[in-house]
Structure 1
Amino acid sequence: MNNSLGCTCLLCCVRSVGPSPELVRQREAKWINIIGQWNRILLRKSSTVKLQCQKGIPASLRAKCWPLLCGATGRMRQNTILYETLDSQPGMQSWVDIIERDLDRQFPFHEMFLSKDGHGQRGLFRVLKAYTQFQPEEGYCQAQGPVAAVLLMNMPAEEAFWCLVQISEQFLPGYYSPLLVILFDAAILTWVLKKTCPAAHKHLQQHGVEPLMFATDWLMCLFTRHLPFNTLLRVWDLFFCYGVRVLLQVAVVLVRRVLGRTEQRKQCQGQMETLERLRGVKEQVQDEDDAFIAEVNLTNTTKTLKTKI
């Protein structure tokens, strides 16, 4: 059985445009049925759920599905007034100052975050401030800013807060703490690239380019700064279903798209040129890029990770 996220049949229906309205309605109906049977089906993340996540969660249902998939809904139900309590408190001034400086850096051209007094920046401040009070020993990490912003684009502030908690505690534990577990996963990416993209890996080694130099921001920000928005949402559909290995699979596909062909590697004659291409990786992905998602689904890192760990 293939351990990758998807199957080869996905490639048969790859398109670079969004699904038709009829297909969207069909997927909405399937997800509504799944949500209605949450305790029996979704809690186990059955094959039905995984297949639907591969196909993409309808935009109209992400506000419901993401919190369910990551466990935020359960945490919120167990702590019904906690977010309200944290939100009503002023917060530690040192964290407040840092968060306020970061607010207008998150998606500055998105209408939701244009104004400093708009509901987007106010909501973002509330969510991030609440997190520093929920985890005072960890506080605020700048990489959490764009992650929280994407959550707020898709759901109310309280749900966004609990999704951020689950991402930080359960999906990416240590990523946003002083321990920086991200360093370990960046090292793992080196091993994964060696096994899955040997030519690209060799090129990186020859020019002294370590994944820490380009992939740290990819992983910590969940690709919020590096993928077109609709493709990013599809990646997050997979991430909330499968966890951190999706991030490694996306990283592999991005490296492959930048350095996978001989002529591409020849155009990168040194470290600077290689890093420039990797940091501008967004140009390699279209918006609503089904081909990219299919490639991620077919990228098998499971066996490689088991061997390494």
Structure 2
Amino acid sequence: MAEVSALSPSPPGGMFSGTLESLSGLGDDASSLGSDSEINGQAMRRTDKYGFLGGAQYSESNEKETSVEVARHRETKWLEMFKNWDKWIARRFPKVKLRCRKGIPSSLRARAWQLLSNSEELLKTNLGKFEELEREQGDPKWLDIIEKDLHRQFPFHEMFAARGGYGQQDLYRILKAYTVYRPEEGYCQAQAPVAAVLLMHMPAEQAFWCLVQICEKYLPGYYSAGLEAIQLDGEIFFSLLRRVCPMAYRHLKKFKIDPILYMTEWFMCIFSRTLPWACVLRVWDMFFCEGVKIVFRVGLVLLKQMLGSVDKLRELQGMYETMERLRNIPPDAIREDALVLEVTSLPVTEALIDRECSVQVRKWRESRGELTHQLSPRLHGTRAIHEQKRRAAAISSGGSLSFLGGPAPQPGPLLAHDSGLR
């Protein structure tokens, strides 16, 4: 359970003023990386196309590049979708899903993520709210811990390399604002890398509302005290593994390696600290569109690749060797296109996840009693969020719900309306 405590909502820490003074005073020249030679052995810092200066997620220049013509063609298609977004989601969602699976153009990724998550509309209905949250003093028990965590978030990325730089300041603003917005939730350390990825693509206010949607719609309960939601999903994940890759399942069971030991960081950070960066972006594109199903599938694909053959298991003769492999997946073992192909073809549906969730909740109650926290229903991606929004609009206007086609999401831990999509 060491991994759980490492990513759990942080305990009360020391006093902190709730301002950015202690960060901004360091200046942009105070790097959290140290000397340039620690990055890549060169006097000059050169970033890859994603902004990384070095480290495990630095991308070599020999990566496959999309031609300018193809890139412009894809951008045009996405811009056309943006013009009539609600109609595309309501009437042509399979096409939206397909385009997300192909990869969102980097120039449009920020807007696409906000539309897919409906965070853009959330921001518009809460104009000025982020600034209001920033002006609040905040709870000192969270703020000191947030400040201490800032330099750990992608220290080899140009946005976060400098202590007290604009990237770390914006990250602090977002995480502090969330503790004020949801004081009952507070701060969980796994929120920091998620917020940092969002900040790499959009300004702080947009990133904040996107984080809110991830925490409340996509992964509800993941960052709450006790981490019951992630523990439940660990049991669901292990049960699905038995179907998808019995060999990996038997190996992990043989050495008594609980899923919480290796999948906690994968799921809570949405693989942002695990995969090569090109893969991270493709996973996030699909995640924002299709929801937590993608997180389960990626985890299952990784276990199939790492533990799915006799030859691979021959090298892993115990718990230690297996955990080392799962915690340090070789970047060259994960190819972007191959990963996406495996993920999109894996027969793990929303309905299957929900059914297995019901089974695991029942087992939890039989063995441990009632859940400490009532888990909110989670929504399986864009279409479920869109349908919830339309239902809310229909109810507020006193209209009929019959045009929506299908029942409302059932209440209960982690259950959601089954969209019928793989």
State TM-score, norm by structure 2.
0.67
Q: Runs of 5+ in structure 1 lacking a partner?
A: 1-15
Aligned to 2:140: 93
Aligned to 2:215: 168
Secondary structure at 1:40's aligned position in 2? helix
CA–CA distance in 2 between the matches of 1:306 and 1:121? 38
Deviations 1:249-293 (A, max 9, x none): 000011111111210011100111111111112435446x11111
Secondary structure at 2:223's aligned position in 1? coil
Tell me which of 202, 215, 236 is aligned to 1:155. 202
TM-aligned CA deviation for residue 306 of structure 1: 5.0
- Over alpha carbons, which structure has the higher Rg? 2
Report if aligned partners of 1:17, 1:290 keep a CA contact under 8 Å in 2: no
CA–CA distance in 2 between the matches of 1:45 and 1:159? 26
User: Where does 1:69-218 land on structure 2 (aligned, <5 Å)?
Assistant: 69-180=116-227, 181-218=229-266
CA–CA distance in 2 between the matches of 1:95 and 1:226? 26
Secondary structure at 1:98's aligned position in 2? helix
TM-aligned CA deviation for residue 224 of structure 1: 1.0
- The letter for the 2-side match of 1:105 is R
Matched, 1:39 2:86: yes
Seen in structure 2, the aligned counterparts of structure 1 residues 221 and 45 have a Cα distance that, compared at 3 Å, is farther
Secondary structure at 2:159's aligned position in 1? helix
Secondary structure at 2:206's aligned position in 1? helix
CA–CA distance in 2 between the matches of 1:281 and 1:148? 23
Larger mean CA deviation between 141-150 and 35-44 belongs to 35-44
CA–CA distance in 1 between the matches of 2:116 and 2:181? 21
Aligned to 2:109: 62
Aligned to 1:290: 337
Q: In the comparison of the two structures, how many residue pairs are matched?
A: 293
TM-aligned CA deviation for residue 305 of structure 1: 2.5
Report if aligned partners of 1:138, 1:178 keep a CA contact under 8 Å in 2: yes
CA–CA distance in 1 between the matches of 2:354 and 2:123? 33
- The letter for the 1-side match of 2:196 is A
Secondary structure at 1:194's aligned position in 2? helix
Secondary structure at 2:87's aligned position in 1? coil
Report if aligned partners of 1:66, 1:237 keep a CA contact under 8 Å in 2: yes
User: Where does 1:45-56 land on structure 2 (aligned, <5 Å)?
Assistant: 46-56=93-103
RMSD in angstroms over aligned alpha carbons? 1.5
User: Where does 1:5-24 land on structure 2 (aligned, <5 Å)?
Assistant: 17-24=64-71
TM-aligned CA deviation for residue 75 of structure 1: 0.8
Secondary structure at 2:66's aligned position in 1? coil
**Percent pairwise identity:** 47
Q: Whose helix proportion is higher, 1 or 2? A: 1
Seen in structure 2, the aligned counterparts of structure 1 residues 62 and 95 have a Cα distance that, compared at 3 Å, is same
TM-aligned CA deviation for residue 117 of structure 1: 2.0
TM-aligned CA deviation for residue 24 of structure 1: 1.3
Report if aligned partners of 1:258, 1:277 keep a CA contact under 8 Å in 2: yes
TM-aligned CA deviation for residue 20 of structure 1: 2.1
Aligned to 1:3: none
Report if aligned partners of 1:106, 1:146 keep a CA contact under 8 Å in 2: yes
CA–CA distance in 1 between the matches of 2:352 and 2:222? 22
Deviations 1:106-157 (A, max 9, x none): 0011111011221100010001010000000101100000000000001111
Report if aligned partners of 1:285, 1:292 keep a CA contact under 8 Å in 2: no
CA–CA distance in 2 between the matches of 1:169 and 1:45? 26
State TM-score, norm by structure 1.
0.91
